[in-house]
Amino acid sequence: EADIYQTPRYLVIGTGKKITLECSQTMGHDKMYWYQQDPGMELHLIHYSYGVNSTEKGDLSSESTVSRIRTEHFPLTLESARPSHTSQYLCASSVGGGVYGYTFGSGTRLTVV
Amino acid sequence: GEDVEQSLFLSVREGDSSVINCTYTDSSSTYLYWYKQEPGAGLQLLTYIFSNMDMKQDQRLTVLLNKKDKHLSLRIADTQTGDSAIYFCADTGSARQLTFGSGTQLTVLP
């Protein structure tokens, strides 16, 4: 049973719209991450947070922004969606690796038309 | 930076063993992981191995670690159609985040 929840699962939206992808976890993990996944499978880290009010950009440049006002919540926002933003977005959380690794949400499949 | 590489595709017959390979570059890795991703889902942690271990077995899964060659493998015994998925290796390295491989698509043929 997933302890990290992403909504919506699927989203089709028009170009120029503002969207927020939600991610919440009930495990009390300090660390949270957003990945963008290509159709070709590869995962790209776009944002991460090590605690409340702490956010960093990842390896892949992204036009999205994130916030971390509460431990359990790590939403990702696109101010103006474009077709190039079409992708699968995966949220994850961790206590810092170790034997538990990361726990992933089920993902949001975003299509911008 | 850290680099983790996997072959992209593997096909096996149902009942055979599957071996998925991974190489990494950062010798300071503490834990190495295998994740499974089924269609339309997130990644699920399958198993992990601590860097001071050579082998770990968990039911049908066997993980082998060769630190000298920086090579990690996942063997799935008696592969079933339900094992068809994408498999990612990942390691901690010296970075504070996990570095993931590009994923191996395993197809199990009847």
- Ranges of chain A with pLDDT below 50: none
Are B42 and A100 within 8 A, CB to CB?
no
Contact B42 A90 (CB under 8 A): yes
| φ, ψ at A27 (rounded to 5°) | -95, -5
By CA distance, what is A109's nearest residue in B?
Answer: B40
What is the model's pLDDT at position A9? 96
User: For residue range B12-63, what is the model confidence (pLDDT) as tens digits?
Assistant: 999 999 999 999 988 787 889 999 999 888 999 999 999 899 999 999 999 9
pLDDT of residue A2: 57
> Residue B109 pairs with which residues in a beta bridge?
B13
Residue B67 binned pLDDT confidence (cut-offs 50, 70, 90): very high
Predicted pLDDT of residue A96: 67
Mean pLDDT of chain B: 92
A7 within 8 A of A108, measured Cβ to Cβ? yes
